[in-house]
Amino acid sequence: MDTHLLIGVAVMFGLIGIAASRDLLRRLKPVPQLMLVPVRRAFKRATR
């Protein structure tokens, strides 16, 4: 087998592996979700 062809195939498999692992890590990462938080506000009138 030609050496250049072998190196090219190895590089392609490496790039495919990197892309697949990044996609897998992105899917396993937890996605933050928005939550409603009750807020109590105490309004105090300023005396002038």
Q: What is the pLDDT of residues 12-40, one digit of tens each?
A: 999 999 999 999 888 888 878 888 888 87
Residue 39, domain member (yes or no): no
Is 4 a domain residue? yes
User: What are the percentages of helix, strand and coil residues in the chain, rounded to 5?
Assistant: 55, 0, 45
Q: Is residue 23 part of a domain?
A: yes
Indicate whether 5 belongs to any domain. Answer: yes
Cα-Cα end-to-end distance for the chain: 91
> Could you tell me if residue 8 is inside a domain?
yes
- The pLDDT assigned to 46 comes to 62
Confidence band of 41 (pLDDT split at 50, 70, 90): confident
pLDDT at res. 31: 78
Domain that holds residue 16: 1-29
Is pTM beyond 0.75? Reply is no
Residue 43 lies in a domain: no
Q: How many domains does the chain have?
A: 1
pLDDT category of residue 9 using cuts at 50, 70 and 90: very high
